[in-house]
C-alpha cells in the first residue's frame, strides 16, 4: 500500500511508553492504602484516566482480586454493560482460559423488551446476563441502572456473579449505585463518587486478567 513507503519511520516503542508511565504513577502516587494484589488495578486505572483522585477512590471487597483471578482461570465469561467496555477488554488472556467477553445491551430481544417495559436496555441486559453467564465477571462502566439491577438480583439470590466491577460514571444514580454495591458482602471493585467510566472498567478487568495469566 501507498502509506507504507511515503513517510519516514518515527521510532516509538509501545512497551517502553507503558513502562515509563507505570514508573511515573508509582512515584507520584506515593503512599497509598492498597494491598500488593490490589495495586496493579489502581495503577492501571490511573494509567487509563491520568486521574490520581479517581485511583485513590477505588474500593475493594477483601476477596475481589482472588475471586476475579479465579473466575478468569475457570473460564467464566466477562459481561460488559456497553460495547465500549467490551471492545476495550483484552481478549486473548481471557480466551486462553476458555472465557469470552460479552455485551447484551444491543441484542434485539433486549431492545424490544426494554421498549415494552418502558425501562433501560441496561436493566434488561443484566436480566439476560444472569440467565446466560453463570459466575461471570460483570464490568459496568456506564449504566448505573445496570448496576442497581444487578445488586437487586444479588440480594434476591437470583444472581451469583464471580466478581462485580461496578464503576459507572455520571450525575444521576452513579455514586448512589456504587455506595449500594460497597454494602454487599460479595466480591466487588468499585469507587467512591461520580467518576468512573468505560476505561476504568476496562483497566480493572485487564489488570486482573494479567494477574491470572502470570500465575502460569
Active site residue 61: no
Binding-site string for its own copies from residue 17 to residue 36, where x marks contact by CB under 8 A and - marks none: x--xx--xx-----------
Among 70, 73, 96, 120, binds its own copies (CB under 8 A): 120
Among 68, 88, 166, 187, binds its own copies (CB under 8 A): 88
Q: Are 181 and 188 in contact (CB under 8 A)?
A: yes
Residues 6+ apart with CB under 8 A from 202: 48, 85, 88, 89, 139, 141
119 binds its own copies (CB under 8 A): yes
Residues 35-54 that bind its own copies (CB under 8 A): 47-51
- Among the listed ranges 31-39, 93-101, 177-185, 197-205, the one in contact with its own copies (CB under 8 A) is 197-205
134 binds its own copies (CB under 8 A): no
Give the 3-state secondary structure of residue 203.
Answer: helix
* Selected catalytic residue, list 44, 47, 61, 195: 47
Query: Rounded CA gap, 4 and 68, in Å?
Result: 42
- Choice between 10 and 215, CB closer to its own copies: 10
Q: How far is the CB of 3 from its own copies (least distance, A)?
A: 4
Query: Rounded CA gap, 51 and 54, in Å?
Result: 5
3-state helix, strand, coil in the chain (%, to 5): 55, 10, 35
4 binds its own copies (CB under 8 A): yes
Q: Are 54 and 195 in contact (CB under 8 A)?
A: yes
Q: How far is the CB of 76 from its own copies (least distance, A)?
A: 19
Q: How far is the CB of 64 from its own copies (least distance, A)?
A: 23
Question: How many degrees, rounded to 5, is the angle at CA 148 between CA 61 and CA 46?
Answer: 50
CA distance readout (Å), 32 to 36, 43, 49, 58, 70: 11, 11, 18, 11, 26
Binding site for its own copies (CB under 8 A): 1-4, 6-7, 9-14, 17, 20-21, 24-25, 47-51, 83-84, 86-88, 109, 113, 117-120, 123-124, 127-128, 130-131, 145, 148-149, 152-153, 158, 169-174, 193-199, 202
Looking at the annotation, which residues are catalytic?
Answer: 47
Amino acid at each position: 500500500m501507498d502509506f507504507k513507503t511515503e513517510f519516514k519511520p518515527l521510532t516509538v516503542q509501545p512497551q517502553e511508553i507503558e513502562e515509563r508511565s507505570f514508573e511515573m504513577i508509582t512515584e507520584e502516587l506515593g503512599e497509598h492504602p492498597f494491598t500488593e494484589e490490589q495495586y496493579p488495578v489502581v495503577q492501571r486505572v490511573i494509567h487509563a484516566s491520568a486521574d490520581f483522585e479517581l485511583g485513590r477512590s477505588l474500593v475493594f471487597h477483601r476477596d475481589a482480586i482472588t475471586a476475579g483471578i479465579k473466575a478468569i482461570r475457570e473460564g467464566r465469561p466477562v459481561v460488559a454493560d456497553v460495547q465500549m467496555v467490551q471492545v476495550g477488554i483484552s481478549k486473548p488472556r481471557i480466551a486462553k482460559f476458555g472465557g469470552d467477553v460479552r455485551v447484551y445491551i444491543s441484542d434485539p430481544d433486549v431492545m424490544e423488551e426494554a421498549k415494552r417495559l418502558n425501562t433501560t436496555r441496561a436493566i434488561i441486559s443484566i436480566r439476560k446476563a444472569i440467565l446466560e453467564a453463570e459466575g461471570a465477571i460483570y464490568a459496568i462502566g456506564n449504566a448505573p441502572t445496570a448496576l442497581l439491577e444487578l445488586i437487586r438480583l444479588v440480594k434476591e439470590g437470583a444472581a451469583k456473579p464471580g466478581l462485580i466491577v461496578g464503576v459507572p460514571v455520571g450525575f444521576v444514580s452513579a455514586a448512589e449505585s456504587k455506595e449500594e454495591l460497597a454494602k454487599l458482602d460479595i466480591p466487588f471493585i468499585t469507587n467512591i463518587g461520580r467518576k468512573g467510566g468505560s476505561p476504568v472498567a476496562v483497566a480493572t478487568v485487564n489488570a486482573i486478567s494479567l494477574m491470572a495469566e502470570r500465575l502460569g
